[in-house]
Amino acid sequence: MATRSGTSKIPHLYCWAVARLAVKLLLLDEDDRLLLIYAKDPQTEAECWYPVGGGIEPGETLQEAAAREAFEETGIVDLPPGLPVWRRDHTYEFDGQAIEVHETWLMHRVDRFDPAPAHLSEHEARSILGFRWWQAQELAEVTETVFPPRLGQLLMDLLTDGVPADPVDIGEPKSSIADRESL
């Protein structure tokens, strides 16, 4: 955009976005089945499966956020402490908005239970359709949409290899311009 003086102006301001801190829960029962939420995006109507979890509130520890999210989304009380197993920086779209998150994934061993949400947010109430306990192999073979996409294989590796000493980065590798030009 040119001004009277002939100089150009940038039509908008650049600002730095801060990723939302989030905790994702691998709620595993005594048979190594993982509890996932089945949901529909209110805008696109795309359906998918994903683990329990959400944003970390100011002042909360990972364990406190995990316990709150598990209670709100599934009704479970007295969530046992989780072990940090994965981490991921990710941007996803939901209800027409792009959301950037920094996730820490905790593995929790729980007795199998029937989820009964206790306190869903407005967007969760509009989108959550149900729950299911999944075997890792089922997740690796499913044709339905699961987030993250490699969850079945990641879970099989975790169950085989055990809890890592440090959380493993499960984010998708970012491609560089050089990578794209070589394609």
Residue 104 pLDDT greater than 70, yes or no:
yes
Mean pLDDT of the chain: 85
The string of DSSP codes covering 21-61 is EEEEEEEE-TT--EEEEEEE-TTT--EEEEEEEEEPPTT--
More confident residue, 175 or 160: 160
What are the domain boundaries of the chain? 20-168
Mean pLDDT of 131-152: 96
**Does the pLDDT of residue 123 top 90, yes or no?**
no
Phi, psi of 127 (to 5 degrees): -115, -30
pLDDT over 70 percentage in the chain = 84
CATH class of 20-168: alpha beta
What is the 3-class SS of 106-130, one letter each residue? EEEECCCCCCCCCCCCHHHHHHEEE
Is the pLDDT at 12 greater than 60? The verdict is no
